[in-house]
Amino acid sequence: MKRAHYLAARVLCLPSEIEHVSSALKLLMGGGENKQIAVSATEPTEGATFALVQTSLKKESDINALFKFITTHLSEQEKKQLVQEADSRIDDHLDFFIRFDKEEWMSHKKLKLTTQGNCFHLTFAMAAYPKNKERAVALVKEIFKTA
């Protein structure tokens, strides 16, 4: 079942950390496995401090595998939080947003939801049919449902 049309993931880092952050992003997008995932890095412009590292997934199987990885690596409390906040995490374009703590993933390979800026920012374009926010919210709730 198609749950999202695509996923965009991005993270800010210092220019000296680009290689390390790129590897961590690839590992996250590959569901904990070292899959071949293209990652691009944008060097900071003059006056900027941070580089932008980003990637995307478009294959249904890759996106579904990532959803499965996320749901199995989040605590029951965090899944409940995503279900409760589903409406506020989806915008008018039916994009669903999740942020994972950058340090927790880079240091311990642990997914932890965060609202802070030092994070891996994931944007899923939800495949809701019919195309409306209510259906997208229901889809997110179905993905992260708890026992």
Beta bridge partners of 4: 126
Beta bridge partners of 126: 4
Calpha distance 101→112 (Å, rounded): 6
Q: Are 53 and 13 in contact (CB under 8 A)?
A: yes
Hey, what domains does the chain have and what are their CATH numbers? 4-143 (3.30.1440.10)
Question: pTM for the full model?
Answer: 0.91
Beta strand spans in 70-133 (E) = 95-101, 119-126
Q: Indicate whether 87 pLDDT > 80.
A: yes
Q: What's the order of all strands across the beta sheet hosting 51-57?
A: 40-42, 51-57, 4-13, 119-126, 95-101
Calpha distance 135→99 (Å, rounded): 22
| Closest by Cα among 105, 108, 14, 101 to 53 | 14
In this predicted structure, what is the pLDDT of residue 146? Answer: 65
pLDDT tens-digit map of 47-60: 778 999 999 999 99
pLDDT tens-digit map of 7-56: 999 999 999 999 999 999 999 998 777 778 889 998 877 777 899 999 99
* CA-based end-to-end distance of the chain: 21
